[in-house]
Structure 1
Amino acid sequence: MHSGITNPIDFTREGRQGGHITIPYSVDRSPYYQIRIPVLRLKNGDGPGLLLMAGNHGDEYEGELLLGRLMRALDASKLRGAVTILPLANLPAVMAARRCSPFDGGNLNRAFPGDPAGTPTARLAHFLEAELFRAHDVVLDLHSGGSSMAHLPCTLIERQAGAARFQRALDLMRAMGASHAFVADNGPAAPTSMGAAGRAGAIGLSGEFGGGGTVTPQTMAFTAATIDRLLLALGLIDAPVLSRGPLPAPGPLQLLSLSRHSQGIYGERRGWFEPVVPLGATVAAGDLAGWYHDLESLDRPEEPLRFAEGGIVISHRLHCDSQAGDCLIQVADPISA
C-alpha cells in the first residue's frame, strides 16, 4: 500500500537538491493539508552516503539547529559522496515544542517499522525505514534529553549482526569523539531509528547531545564537533564545516551499558525531586542520589533516595515536580566492547 508520502529527492542525481517530504493529513481547518518536512540532498561523485537526521523528538534542539546551519554551509562541490540532511524529521512535534506529534501523539522513535496506512507518525516511520534509510550507508540520528531530562553527552550504537559490521560501527562511534558511549542491545525488532537503520542495511549512529529543551555553547560545540568528525571519518569532507577552529583528536572513550530497571530511580508517588550528584559522577550502590520532598505535606520530612546499583550518573529529571512512574535519575555500567 502506498503511504501517500512524496519525496522530492532523486538519489542518483549529482549536485544540490532541496524540497519537502510531504505527508497528506486531512484536518478540520484544511482538508487537503500536507505536513511538509524540509530535506536537502548533496551529491558529488562516488563515495559513502550519509543521512543526518534531527527532530525525531521535537524538543531536542542541538541537532535541529546545527543541521539547519549545515544545510546552508555545506558545498556539494567539496564533497566526495552524498549527504542527505533531514533537520526536522517529526515536524509537527518540532513546531509544537513537544517530544511527540500533536497530530496523533506519535513518538517517532518508538514507531518503526511504521505502517504505510497508519497515522502520520506511522507513515513517516515506514518511509524512513523502507526508503530513506535504505538509500544510505550510515544514518546519524541526533537526540538530547528533551525538555524534561538532563543527559550526559554521549554517542550510541546498536549491537550489529556480524563482527566486521559491529567493528565498523564502533570505529565510527570512536571517531565521533565523545567521552562516553552506549552499545545498546535492543534486538533486531527494536522500534527505534537505530533498529530501523539496521534492518534497512545502514550503520546506525545516535547519541544524546544536551537536554532541558534548550541549547548551550557547550552542547552546540560538542554536537558540531561530532557531526564534523563523522563527515571527516567517512571521507566526505577535508575540513570541518560547523566547528570553529581545529578539532582536537578524540580522547579515550568509555563504553556504558543501561539494561536494567534497577539502574534507575523512579517516583513512587507525587513529589519534588532534588538531585545531589552531578552528571558524570561515579557512584556506588547505597549512595545518596537525591531527596524527594512533599510540598503537600510540609510536616513530612524529605525522603532520601539511594542508588540500588553503582555506575556513572547519565541522566536526571529536570522538572522538580514529579509523578509516580517518572524516571528521576539513572546510572550506567562502564563496560568494554
Structure 2
Amino acid sequence: MHSGLVNPIDFSREGRQAGHLAIPYSIDRSPYYQIRMPILRLQNGEGPSLLLMAGNHGDEYEGELQLSRLMRLLDVKAIRGAVTILPMANLPAVMAAKRCSPFDGGNLNRAFPGDPMGSPTARLAHFLEHELFPRHDVMLDLHSGGTTMAHLPCTLIERQADAARFERAVSLMRAMGASHAFIADNGPAAPTSMGAAARAGVIGLSGEFGGGGTVTPQSMAFTAAAIDRLLVTLGIVEHPVLSRAPLGEAVPLQLLSLSRHSQGIYANRRGWFEPAAALGATVSAGDLAGWYHDLECLEQQEEELRFAEDGIVISHRLHCDSQAGDCLIQVAEPITE
C-alpha cells in the first residue's frame, strides 16, 4: 500500500488494544517507510467514549508526556466505556521538536478536513476527522504555547450551532478546572481539530496547558488534573489516575474572547522584544506592553509598545529575537455567556 492510512484498532472489540497508525511514505533511505503513531484503545462495556490526543504540534509537551503516562497507568478493568489515546498525533514533528512536520511542512492543526491521497499530514487529518473523531462522544486535544510562546493556562472550545452540544461542551470545560477559557468562533469550515470535531458531531475540547517548549511542575499538574477531572466527570473512572495531589473543587471560570487583530501587538521589523506585562495581568488600552530594542543600532532608543485594547494578557513571545510579522504579546477580552 502506498497511500492512505493503516489503522490496527477494532473499535467493536472489548479489552486493551495497542498498536500504531501507519502512513506509508517513501523516503530516500527507506522506499517502504511508514510513519507510525502509537495508539491505545481501552474498552470495557457500555459507557461514554473519549478520545485523548496530544502532539498535534510537536513542540507542545505537557499532553504528550501525560498521555504517554496515562497509557501505562490506565487499567481497562477500572474504566466504564471506552478511551482512545493518541499521544503523538504529528509524530514527525514530535521527534523533530518542531511545530510542523519536517516531512511535508504540515501543520496538523491547519490541515483539516484533510485529503486521503495527499501528504502525510493531510492523510492523517482526513483519518482523524472522518474515521477517528466520529467514533467518540468527546475528544480532548491538548496544546501549549510551543517553543516560542508563553501562554496563560486555559481551556478552549469552538462555538457550535447545536445548542445542546455547545451547552454540554461548556459544562465539561468548566469541570476541567481551569481558571480561564476561550470560546472560539472560527466558523464551520475551520481547519483546526476543534472545527473537525464539530463537523464530526463530537464534543471537542482543547486548551493551552503550558509553553516554552518545556514542562514545569505547575504545567504538568494542571494538565494531569484537567485530564483526571474530565475522566471522572464523564464517569469513565471513579478516581483520578494521573494527579499526585487531591483535585479539590474547580475554581471559578473566566471566559475570554480573542477575535480582533488589535488585541495583539506584532513586530513590523527585526528587533528584540522585552515584555513589561505578566501573563494573567489585567491591562488597559495605553498601558505599557513592553519594549522593542534594536541591537543593530545601539544609539537608537528602545521603542515603547502599548496595548491598543483592555483585557487580560494571555500570551507573549518567549524568543527575544523577533522578525516582522511575529506576534509579540496578546490580550483577551473577558466575556460572560
TM-score normalised by structure 1 residue count: 0.99
1:102 match: 102
Give the C-alpha shift of residue 165 in structure 1: 1.2
TM-score normalised by structure 2 residue count: 0.99
Give the C-alpha shift of residue 84 in structure 1: 0.2
Question: 1:196-254 CA deviation, whole Å, 9 max, x = no partner?
Answer: 01111100000000000000000000000000000001000000000012111101000
| Number of aligned residues | 336
2:36 match: 36
Give the C-alpha shift of residue 162 in structure 1: 2.1
Is 2:177 the counterpart of 1:177?
yes
- Aligned counterparts, 1:71-110, within 5 A: 71-110=71-110
* 3-state secondary structure, aligned to 1:77: helix
2:297 match: 297
Is 2:282 the counterpart of 1:277?
no
1:161 match: 161
Cα separation, 1, equivalents of 2:98 and 2:286: 35
Cα separation, 2, equivalents of 1:3 and 1:123: 8
Question: 1:76-105 CA deviation, whole Å, 9 max, x = no partner?
Answer: 001010000000000000000000000000
Amino acid at match of 2:277: V
* 3-state secondary structure, aligned to 1:147: coil
Cα separation, 2, equivalents of 1:178 and 1:83: 22
* 3-state secondary structure, aligned to 2:40: strand
* 3-state secondary structure, aligned to 1:285: coil
Give the C-alpha shift of residue 304 in structure 1: 0.1
2:11 match: 11
Question: 1:150-186 CA deviation, whole Å, 9 max, x = no partner?
Answer: 0000000000112211110000000000000000000
Unaligned runs of 5+ in 1: none
Is 2:231 the counterpart of 1:228?
no
1:57 match: 57
1:247 match: 247
* 3-state secondary structure, aligned to 2:147: helix
* 3-state secondary structure, aligned to 1:58: coil
1:237 match: 237
1:22 match: 22
Runs of 4+ displaced beyond 2 Å: none
2:131 match: 131
Cα separation, 1, equivalents of 2:257 and 2:5: 37
2:256 match: 256
* 3-state secondary structure, aligned to 2:168: helix
2:147 match: 147
Amino acid at match of 2:95: M
Give the C-alpha shift of residue 3 in structure 1: 4.5
What is the identity percentage for the equivalent residue pairs of Structure 1 and Structure 2?
Answer: 81
Amino acid at match of 1:290: G
Give the C-alpha shift of residue 4 in structure 1: 2.4
2:192 match: 192
